[in-house]
Amino acid sequence: MATLVIVESPAKARKIAGLLGAGFVVRASLGHVRDLPGSKAEIPERYRAEPWANLGVNPETFAPIYVVPAGKQATVRELRQLAARADRVLFASDMDREGEAISYHLSRLLGVEQPTRMVFTEITREALQAALRSTRPLDLHLVAAQEARRVIDRLVGYGVSPLLWGSVGGKLSAGRVQSAALMLVAQREMARMRFRPATFWSIRADVLTRPKFTATVTRVRSSEHPQGLPIARSGDYTQDGALKAGVQVLEMTDGQASALSAYLDGREATVTSVDVTETRTRPAPPFITSTLQQAGGRLNLSAKGVMDAAQRLYEGGYITYMRTDSPALSDEALTEARREATRLFGPGAVPAQPRQYATRNPGAQEAHEAIRPAGTSWRAPAATGLSGADLDVYTLIYQRTVASQMTDAVFDRTAVTLTCGAATLGAQGRVLKEAGFRQLLQDDDPKDEQRLPALAAGQRFPLKARPPEGKKTSAPTRFTEATLVQAMEKAGIGRPSTYAQTLATLQTRDYVRLSGRHLAVTAVGLLVATYLARQVPDVTQQGFTATMEAGLDDVAAGKTTRVAYLTRFWTDGLSQTIRRASRDAPNLPLPHLDGTRLRAAGSGPHLVRAGQSVPLPPQVIPADLDDTQASAILQGTWTEKARPARRTGEKTSAGRARSRKTTPP
């Protein structure tokens, strides 16, 4: 027998087998083949008497117990048989920490004393041949980092989750990354509940040029303020609805707004200044894991949906490895991107020199390229034979990569100022001069502003006032999956490969729930976040979590050892916090409902007011409650409103469900 190549997935194995041809047998391990015990039944007999056996890790030495799960034993037997007959075994799992750990555990199970790694970032014939020529030994630093991550996740999960069972109730879970991410969305939800709107006015008028354009009153002069005061805008107010300290603006009443609008109507305004400047917009860098997940919203795909499609594309040989935080491209990719741009739009579509991008994330691991089409000759989306989400994601990656090497988009931006009596008005417009990369990415820029006619200072034009618009400041916007990924990346919470799974876990645990495209925090999610913030604050603090991630990076780089890392963060840190934590039930004031609290109880979250406590219906999002609904829940008269039918005419499951009535205990 010839060479045995072991990868993770059957799809990847089939693709690679077809490219390597005779002399190679390619098989899949189906992911990890050894892990910490998942149940008591999996704990080997020799460890069952140990007080820490249920953890699967000795918390004093951090020695893990590894077992082959029942579902993987047949796979391991087959791989052992193939390895025994092979002339050579190549471990070709992914080139990240998880892939390195898979190769390590396989080598131990198969009895390969000096394992050889075959690594590649794309599944093409050329890339595989290059990988065969440049095999390397196992990187034990990466293995140690993965093991440290697995051990700390087990210790945190098994250490903190029981605290939640005793305080919030139910079989809840906590985790190193999950809990910090939950705190981000919970803090945003609490900010929404604390928010108090402020009212401000927008006074606009059409300037009757040809074509006409719309100007907005920006300042008003008065005897008290001869230089004029700016009209209050949304950004002048705090989230409590008060003016920010030190801000001097004109807060208009509805009567003043109507009077000013009537004053402008029919009068002439004088153009006092016209400023025309050229502005340029650079194309965005090629995708990394986090930005690809964020862009999935354009396709109505969740972060997990995007990563699932990217995994299939990688295994099918369509794109390079999809777990990376480097936006850099290889010289071959730069050449091909420029060639594609030139093929599509001509020689003028690319600048004189290739564009190269560097990450702004100090914690990035830049060993890999950006996510791009695979190979040295890229397939246009229409020529791939793909369909559905796979085609959509490939198109996104192809266009973003090619566009990254195209010229800037160039605009003429015009800012005009006008005066009419005591009022100063302003307007802005923009005209596209050179499309550049926007030839390929038509929707990759904010909506165009109005186009202004040619104007000169001193010109006078009549105004036609529009009805004044009373507006309210907006509450902080809930996170979408895309913006939460962005916030996690900025805060250093997790790594690109963990984002999609973290979002999925938060929703599976019903800590957050999708409300349209936004993530609303459930009552259980708020109570869990409240308890953790008070009793185990380390797991919710961004700085602590980011430092833990940096420590794992140090282990991967050989700058510290696995045991030193785990001792610092567990023995000397988090374990002591967990030991001191009480199991008091969290009790959370709801700031948007006077005198109302959310309390954990054995039967689930309760709504509490004036000495009365009733179960909160599980479908109710606390931040969406108003006073009338809260009173109805407390009185036992609340019913769930059916949600509007979808445009197809089919109702949602919630809409089909019968209205449920609550009754006091």
Dihedrals φ, ψ of 404, to 5°?
-60, -20
Write down the CATH number for the domain with range 289-403.
1.10.290.10
Specify the pLDDT at position 664.
32
Residues whose CB is less than 8 angstroms from the CB of residue 434 and which lie 6 or more positions away in sequence, other chains included: 407, 408, 409, 410
Q: Give the CATH number of domain 199-282+415-472; options: 2.40.50.100, 2.70.20.10, 2.40.30.20, 3.90.1150.10.
A: 2.70.20.10
Is residue 51 reached through a cis peptide bond, with omega within 30 degrees of 0 on the bond before it? no
Q: How confident is the model at residue 656 (pLDDT cuts 50, 70, 90)?
A: very low
8 Å CB contact between 291 and 283? no
The answer to whether 321 is a known catalytic residue is: yes
CA atoms within 13 A on the CB side of 28: 13
Q: What is the pLDDT of residue 653?
A: 33
Question: In 3D, which of 124, 119, 150 has the Cα closest to residue 137?
Answer: 119
Q: How confident is the model at residue 443 (pLDDT cuts 50, 70, 90)?
A: low
Please choose, from the candidates 524, 616, 502, 615, the residue with its C-alpha nearest in 3D space to the C-alpha of residue 165.
Answer: 524
- Alpha carbons within 13 angstroms on the beta-carbon side of residue 154 total 25
Predicted TM-score of the model (pTM): 0.87
Question: What DSSP assignment string belongs to 193-251?
Answer: HH----EEEE-EEEE-SSS-EEEEEEEE--SS-TT-EEBP-GGGB-TTSSBPTT---B-
434: which 2 tokens?
Answer: 């050179």
Catalytic residue among 314, 318, 321, 394: 321
pLDDT band with cut points at 50, 70 and 90 for residue 331: very high
In this structure, the dihedral spanned by the alpha carbons of residues 281, 287, 288 and 289, taken in order and rounded to 10 degrees, is: 130
- Report whether 492 contacts 542 (CB < 8 A): yes
Domains of the chain by residue range: 3-33+68-138, 147-195+477-582, 199-282+415-472, 289-403, 589-656
Which one, of 137, 123, 124, lies nearest residue 94 by Cα?
A: 123
pLDDT tier at 647, thresholds 50, 70, 90: very low
Per residue in 203-254, pLDDT (tens digit) is 999 999 999 999 999 999 988 888 999 999 999 999 999 999 999 999 999 9
Q: Mean pLDDT, to the nearest integer, of 142-169?
A: 95
**pLDDT of the residue at 150:** 96
| Burial grade of 117 (CB within 10 A; 0-12, 13-18, 19 or more) | buried
How many residues are given for the chain?
665
For domain 3-33+68-138, the CATH architecture is 3-Layer(aba) Sandwich (3.40)
What pLDDT score was predicted for residue 224? 87
State which fold the 147-195+477-582 domain adopts.
Answer: Topoisomerase I; domain 2 (1.10.460)
Q: Is the pLDDT of residue 337 over 90?
A: yes
The contacts of residue 662 (CB under 8 Å, 6+ apart) are 614, 615, 617, 633, 636, 638
| Separation of alpha carbons 200 and 222, rounded Å | 19
Mean pLDDT of all residues in the chain? 91
The distance of Cα 9 from the centroid of its chain, to the nearest Å, equals 26
pLDDT of residue 442: 73
- Identity of residue 603: S
Report yes or no: 189 and 623 within 8 Å, Cβ to Cβ. yes
* Cα–Cα distance measured from residue 535 to residue 558, given in angstroms and rounded to the nearest whole number: 34
pLDDT in tens, 48-82: 999 999 999 999 999 999 999 999 999 999 999 99
